Structure formats: C-alpha cells, structure tokens
Amino acid sequence: MSYPILYFLTDQWRYDCLGCNGASVLKTPNLDSLAADGVRFERAYTTNALCSPARASILTGLYPHHHGQLANTGNFNAVFDRQVLDHKGYFQYLKEAGYHTGYCGKFHLGEEGHYSQWYIEDWRTEGDFLKALNQKGITYDFGIHEVQPLEWGKEAVFCGRSVLSERDHHDAWTADQAIEMIERFSEEEEPFVICAGFHGPHFPYAVPAPYDTMYDPELVERWENFDEMFDQKPLVQQKELMRWNTAHLSFKGWQRVVAAYWGYCSFIDAQIGRVIEALKEKELYEEAMIVFSSDHGDMLGGHRLFNKGFNMYEEDNHIPLIVKLPADAAETAGRSCSHFVSLADLAPTFLEAANTAFEEKMPMDGKSLFPLLRQEERDWKKAWRDEILVEFNGYESTLVTSRMIRDETWKYVYNPFSIDELYDMESDPGELRNLAALPAFAHVMRRMRARMYHCLKEAGDSIVELSLWQSNSYGLIVSPREQ
C-alpha cells in the first residue's frame, strides 16, 4: 500500500542542534516528538556540503559526480546547472505511480517551477513568496534587506532580527503553503508527496522576533575545536577565514551568532509543528511517512570557520535525519539507528514507500532505508555499508576536488590539491590533529587509502580512473604500469 509522504527539508541545520540529538539548551519540541514516533539516524551524512549538489542528490538518489550538479546554481557561469536535468527525480517516479506532487519553498536547482522537468504539479516558488509579500504592501529583497546588512555589516556577525515579522517570514509562508497542499490533496483519493523547503537556518541568521532573542549567548559553550591553529591542514581552510572575514571574531562574538542560529532552529521547529498539526487534523498523521533532514550542516564557528565548504569536518557533513513510518510500523517508534546513511538514500526510500521498483528504471547510488527502518534480520556487514563517502568539488570562485571516507574510528580526506587528512574520530572527535603525515599512522593511511579507492571505484567516480592518459590520482593509487 502506498501512503502519504511529507518531507521537511531544511538548509544548513547541524546534527547537534536538535533536542533529541543531545542539544541541552536549544529547544525543538516538535521535531523531538517526531523522533519519538519514528527513527532517529545517528550517522546520516550529506553527499556534498553545498546546497545545490546535495539537493540534486536528494532528488535523484545519485552522488554529485553522477548527477553533475557539482556546485551551486550559477557558480562558474552556470556550467554545471544543466547536467542534473538529464536525470529523473523522485517526484517523477511518484507521479508515474499515481501520487499527487507538491513542493513549496526553497528549491535551489535549475528549471524551478517547470512541471515538464520535475513533475511537481503544485509548486509554490520563491517568486510566489515575493508576490504574497507585495500583495500585503511589503517590498522585500533578501539580498538588500537581510544579506548585506547582516553579512557585511560593521560587526560582521551575520545575525540579527529579520525585517519581516514572524507571520511574514519566508519559512512561515512555506509552512502555510504545505498546510494548503495537505488540505487540497487530502480531498483526493490518490496519495500525495509534499516537500516543504525551508530557507533556514542558513545564514544570514535573520530571525524574526521573538526568536532572535530567545537564547542567551552566554549559554553557548565553547566549541572543543575553536582553538584551531590549522597545523598540517589544507591552506584553503585558512583562506576561508579571509573570505568570510571571521578571523577577528572571538568566541564571545560567535556566541551571539550561535544563539541567533538556535533561535532560527526553534522558529522552524514551530513551523514544522503547525504543518504536522494540520496533518493530524486531517487524520493523516498515523498513516503518513514523515521525513526531516537538512541538506548539509554549518560550521558556526567550529574550527573558527563560517558557513560550509572546503572541508570535511563533522559540523558541515553530519546531518540530522528523522523518519517516521505509518502506524502499522509502530515498532520502529522512538528508535535510533547507528548505521551510516546518506542523503542519496532518500530517493530510493521514497520510491519504495510508493511501491515503485526504481532499480528496473534507473540505477541509483543510494539505498532504500526500509531494511533499517523495519529492523529486518540481515547480516548487516554484508547488507549495508560500514563507511560513508562524501565529495566536494568547490563553489563560487574556486574549484577544489576533495573526497572523504569515514568509518566508526577513522576519517580519511583525500585532497589532490593539498595535503591529505586523517583523524581518529574516537580520541579526537573535534578533528584537531591531522595524523596523515605521521609515520606511526602509515599503516592506517594505507588501509584507508585502499578503502577510499574501493569506494570510489564502486561509486563510479572517475577520480580513480586508470586509462591511457591517467595513471596516478595524485598519490591515492599507483597504477600497475608504474610498479
């Protein structure tokens, strides 16, 4: 049986910024309740810590090196923006399976609003949001009114009160649209899939009152890796400090930023609560599949860094993920799952929920999460991955190739452009000490490089391709003809 699917997609929400994930000050009661009714994934990772590549992976179930959206839309003269359009998204598969399809809020991929490309029949775009404001007599430009004053203001703390009220804010509007779609689709016999794409808690942290002052900055505890000195780290990480003008910020300054970010999270949690309540009013909550995730995380002062990109740290790449199945699978409620899962796993999961055999139509890099959700009895060492693979290819002004693999103990980062990185995630969870160049860890490097090669080969990543022209991937492998 197919059932309704409701997906809450946020932007730049850190794993540790949910009450159910251990946040002690930040309050997220609605998402905590959702987790109590579903499965909370402890080791969910993005495919790429950048909006457009990650969102393309969510839609297609493919890694960025396969779907081709290697950077944000518009970056590098938009040369990557058309490649993802050659691939089907999960909306098309579900539409073909008889679902009604709806999307509201932030999308951040090409051909937004075009049914013929993405098969979304009810689409409420960013343009619709601005029209709604105009109808209220509100002139609003996100770049002029929020980004520039907060991002490049005199104090450069990237946070402050939004010029919009709580009710007029983009993410309240997104929740309103999702509620309208639920009311519309619930009158139909066919099931529906709705994605609500919230803008937050992406910077600038322009938070509506009263959420902008909800948390006392003094309650923000110092990050364990804030005293990063970038010893034996890729130079591009220091360049990021220059790029965003954050090197001068003391932790006291970052406390203000984090407190505003927390307020943004609580604001969005309240909007999600409104949508879930609408689902309950239509008596659809019990039978619905509900998913919450982010596209990637946020450094938020960790390692003194801001925003995301050009690193493989946990703050950027480890994401929150909650999945609630219908009540007939209630044995999953309140459980946590420690297996490594990827954003690329969401599309095949949605398709299995719709009883759609996607493998016969188009292979995906991701795997359906249903075996984990249902706690099927399997030999998990054979049936599921025991490591996670993440890639990065640069954005805005810089093309930079990087690949990361991590298991329970080790994280290895392959940087063709710079020195590699190796972190002991058990003894150094803050990833301060790069062990890659130390002779004592040469055996670990050999093992992790071999695993990296195997994973990239299995994933069809041409970075490890051996051909007449390519024989050595900058130290990751040595081709047979070199031996």
CATH number at residue 444: 3.30.1120
Confidence of residue 46 (pLDDT cuts 50, 70, 90): very high
299: pLDDT strictly greater than 60: yes
Q: Report the range of poorest mean pLDDT among 75-84, 183-192, 250-259.
A: 75-84
pLDDT confidence tier of residue 472, bands split at 50, 70 and 90: low
87 and 188 together in one domain: yes
Residue finishing a domain among 368, 383, 398:
383
222 touches 251 (CB < 8 A): yes
Amino acid 104: pLDDT: 98
Residue 143 sits in the same domain as residue 292:
yes
pLDDT of residue 481: 63
Give every CB contact of residue 354 below 8 A, 6+ residues apart in sequence: 2, 5, 93, 94, 97, 99, 191, 193
Radius of gyration of the chain (CA): 22
- For residue 164 the two structure tokens come to 């919009």
CATH number of the domain where residue 297 is located:
3.40.720.10
Domain membership of residue 394 (yes or no) is no
pLDDT score recorded for residue 418: 94
- Per the DSSP assignment, residues forming a β-bridge with 391 are 403
112 with 213, same domain: the answer is yes
Q: How many domains does the chain have?
A: 2
> How would you classify the pairing of strands 192-197 and 39-45?
unpaired
The upper half-sphere exposure of residue 80, i.e. CA atoms within 13 Å in the direction of its Cβ, equals 23
Average pLDDT on 113-135 reads 95
Domain that holds residue 259: 5-383
pLDDT-derived band at 333 (thresholds 50, 70, 90) equals confident
Give the pLDDT of residue 265. Answer: 98
Query: Rounded mean pLDDT of the chain?
Result: 92
Predicted local distance difference test score (pLDDT) of residue 340? 97
Question: Is 251 found in the same domain as 312?
Answer: yes
**441 and 352 co-located in one domain:** no
pLDDT value at position 241?
Answer: 86
Do 246 and 104 sit in the same domain of this protein? yes
CA–CA separation, 135 and 131 (whole Å)? 6
How many other C-beta atoms can be found within 10 angstroms of the C-beta atom of residue 32? Answer: 17
Residues 411, 327 share a domain:
no
Residue 359 has pLDDT above 60, yes or no: no
On whether both 355 and 472 belong to a single domain, the answer is no
pLDDT category of residue 378 using cuts at 50, 70 and 90: low
Q: What is the pLDDT of residue 147?
A: 87
What pLDDT does 154 receive? 56
User: Which residues, in sequence order, are CB contacts of 353 under 8 Å at separation 6+?
Assistant: 2, 3, 5, 289, 370
Domain annotation covers residue 401: no
- Residue 76 confidence class, pLDDT cut points 50, 70, 90: confident
Long-range contacts of 17-22 (CB under 8 A, 24+ apart): 17/201, 17/261, 17/262, 17/265, 17/320, 18/265, 18/320, 20/322, 21/320
Determine, yes or no, domain membership for 419.
yes
Average pLDDT on 75-88 reads: 88
- 190 and 75 part of one domain: yes
pLDDT > 70? residue 470? no
- Asked if the model's pLDDT at residue 399 lies above 80, the reply is yes
State residue 74's pLDDT score.
Answer: 86
Mean pLDDT across 200-220: 97
Sign of CA dihedral 244, 250, 251, 254: negative
Q: Is the pLDDT of residue 156 over 60?
A: no
What is the model's pLDDT at position 464? 85
% of the chain surpassing 90 pLDDT: 78
Identify the pLDDT of residue 52. 96
pLDDT at 262: 98
Pick from 350, 383, 416: which residue ends a domain? 383
| Residue 428 sits in the same domain as residue 338 | no
d(CA 398, CA 65) in angstroms, rounded, equals 17
Query: Which structure tokens are listed for 435?
Result: 């062990």
Phi-psi region of 162 (alpha: psi -120 to 50; beta: other; left: phi over 0): beta
pLDDT at residue 289 is higher than 80: yes
Picking from 348, 383, 418, the residue at the C-terminal end of a domain is 383
- What is the pLDDT, as a whole number, of residue 25? 98
142 pLDDT higher than 60: yes
In a domain, 395, yes or no: no
Judgement on whether residues 276 and 344 belong to the same structural domain of the protein = yes
Q: CA–CA separation, 83 vs 93, rounded Å?
A: 19
396 in a structural domain: no
